[in-house]
Chain A
Amino acid sequence: MKFSIMVNEAPYSHQAADTAYHFAKAVLAQGHELFRVFFYHDGVNNGTRLATPPQDDRNVVARWSALAQESDVDLVVCVAAAQRRGIADVDEARRNSKDADNLAPGFRISGLGQLIEAAIEADRLVEFGD
């Protein structure tokens, strides 16, 4: 089966990001296809490489990056939601005249059309939030 995942909450504040990650791992472990993970609302905060959680806790952002690298998962951060919350890649930072970028490896920034496409292309869109 082909899955898409939507993550709507920030890491640490809400467990939704953790559950989404474990679900993504399970999807792949069971031999299913993961079409895309789309980060929306505060979920875009899953994509900041500046997150520095305590060493005795899980690193939510690094975990997503590792998943992208190991399993070639498409991690997409919504551009409009990201702009509101200060998440930017190199191009976005330049375009909006910012002095820094912070998008973590393995993520890319794109539009909401990617969410709709993820819903259309997948057999199941599974949403993680409150």
Chain B
Amino acid sequence: MAAIKKMMYINRTAPHGTVYALEGLEVVLIGAAFEQDVSMAFMDDGVFQLLKGQDAGDTGIKNFAPTYRALGDYDVQKLYVDKVSLQERGLVLEDLQHLTYEDEDEDYAEKPSIRLVSRQELSVLMDQQDVLFNF
């Protein structure tokens, strides 16, 4: 197996309406087993994926929002959220689920996974990646 690669999963679509968010999340969970340097980015309507209190009941479509809470256990610890995309949709950090991971290097202290970033920061992060997955 080659050296560890930096992989970013970019999420641009709302959780429902199309299947990209759900099937994108499935790739992230399977990919976790490969122990790469993984991060996720949420931009455009993709920020809706992380909303608190989602209820898909009336649509008859599975609500997979709780699955994002498992990401920390899969060592997916870096969730970059585009600040401007949030603002454009009238959202703030507190509207999103409180997602955490346990930091091995600091006695498993619980830390927030979501980091708000500017578009400039996101662009730098993307540039650092070996692989970009777009969903």
- In this complex, how many residues of chain A approach chain B with their Cβ under 8 Å: the count is 17
> Do B20 and A112 touch across chains, with their CB atoms under 8 A apart?
no
Q: Is A121 an interface residue (CB 8 A)?
A: yes
CA distance A129 to B133 in the complex (A): 11
A41 CB contact (under 8 Å) in B2, B5, B19, B131: B19
Interface of A is mostly: helix
Contact of B131 among A40, A81, A119 (CB under 8 A): A119
Q: Interface of chain B, helix or strand or loop or mixed? A: mixed
Residues of chain B lying within 8 A (CB to CB) of residue A116: 27, 30-31, 34, 36
Contact A129 B34 (CB under 8 A): no
Interface string of B19-61 (1 = CB under 8 A from A): 1100100110011011010000000000000000000000000
Q: Does A31 contact B (CB under 8 A)?
A: no
**Contact among B1, B34, B133 with A127 in the assembled complex (CB-CB below 8 Å):** B133
Give chain A residues whose Cβ lies under 8 Å from the Cβ of B31: 112, 115-116
B134 within 8 A of partner (CB):
yes
Q: Report the tally of A-B residue pairs with Cβ distances under 8 A.
A: 42
B23-A113 in contact (CB<8A): no
In the complex, the answer to whether A120 meets B20 with C-beta atoms within 8 Å is no
CA A93 to CA B30, docked complex, whole Å: 23
B interface bracket (residues with beta carbon within 8 Å of A): 10 to 19
Whether B23 contacts A40 by the Cβ 8 Å rule is yes
Does A80 reach chain B (CB closer than 8 Å)?
Answer: yes
Note all chain B residues with C-beta closer than 8 A to A113.
Answer: 30, 33-34
Whether A120 contacts B5 by the Cβ 8 Å rule is yes
Chain A residues with CB below 8 A from B30, complex form: 111-113, 116
Distance to closest chain B CB from A42 (angstroms):
8
Q: Give chain B residues whose Cβ lies under 8 Å from the Cβ of A6.
A: 133
B26 lies within 8 A of A120 (CB): no
CB < 8 Å neighbour of A112 from B1, B5, B26, B131 = B26
Q: Is the CB of B23 within 8 A of A115?
A: no
B7 interface residue (CB < 8 Å to A): yes
Q: Provided the pairs A112-B27, A112-B30, A113-B34 are in contact, do residues A120 and B19 lie with their beta carbons within 8 angstroms? A: no
Residue of A nearest to B5 (CB): A120
Q: 12 pairs across A/B with beta carbons < 8 Å?
A: A6-B133, A41-B20, A111-B30, A115-B31, A117-B34, A119-B131, A119-B133, A120-B34, A120-B131, A121-B2, A125-B133, A127-B132
Binding site for B on A (CB under 8 A): 6, 40-41, 80-81, 111-113, 115-117, 119-121, 125, 127, 129
